[in-house]
Amino acid sequence: MSSAPRDAAAPLVPELHPPGHDCLWHAPALGAAEGPVAPGAALAPGVRVFHDGAPEALRLWPLRGGISFALQDFGGSYVSLALALPAEVMAGLSSRHVLRLTLRATQGAPVMRARVNLRCGPNVARMLRRIAPEGATLVVEHDLWHLPFDQALLREGWIDILAEPARQARFGLADLSLSRRWRAEV
């Protein structure tokens, strides 16, 4: 489906940590050129869009705090916004962490899932979760305890926000943020 974004992610905002979280990252301003969008197009450092439809079937444009998607005669099966995990999130990342992704979606957004991808040597450990609404905000948490990965071999990570699009759809994603916290000891 998608591959890891190659660019560095936006800086963390340490002064705004939610209680119990040791780091917080906000997606950078996402740029979008008018016209067809090829798979793998960079929208910002560390943020890329992937899809399996024809380039002319997907158009993007900026939305305050995010990006809008317009699909017309989209014959593909997915649209993915891939976010590189920043170095500060990757540093010391272990199975004792929980990653929390929050975002806003406009009306008409399709069913969405978030997949954490951690590259450990030649292998990629993956965990897929449905993004659930929490009021006006969409939230998903990935408890890394359930994801088998070798912390010593951890090289890079990214999160795919996967949408299951209809042939014709318009929706927006905004205010993307990622935080990391320690999981509760049992």
pLDDT value of position 176:
92
State the sign of the Cα–Cα–Cα–Cα dihedral 50, 30, 12, 110.
Answer: negative
**Mean pLDDT, residues 121-149 taken together:** 90
**Mean pLDDT, residues 138-161 taken together:** 94
* Rounded CA separation 37/56 (Å): 7
Q: Which residues contact 114 (CB under 8 A, 6 or more apart)?
A: 101, 128, 129, 131, 140, 142, 159, 160, 161, 162
**Mean pLDDT, residues 138-152 taken together:** 93
* Rounded CA separation 108/58 (Å): 16
pLDDT value of position 162:
95
Domain locations in the chain?
14-169
Residue 158 pLDDT exceeds 60: yes
Provide the phi-psi class of 108: left if phi over 0, else alpha when psi is between -120 and 50, else beta: left
Pick the CATH number of 14-169 from 2.60.40, 2.30.29, 2.20.28, 2.60.120: 2.60.120
Residue 4 pLDDT exceeds 70: no
pLDDT value of position 7:
39
pLDDT value of position 34:
66
pLDDT digits (tens, 9 = 90+) for 124-137: 999 999 998 776 78
pLDDT value of position 64:
83
**Mean pLDDT, residues 145-167 taken together:** 92
pLDDT digits (tens, 9 = 90+) for 61-119: 888 888 999 999 999 999 999 999 999 899 999 999 999 999 999 888 888 999 999 99
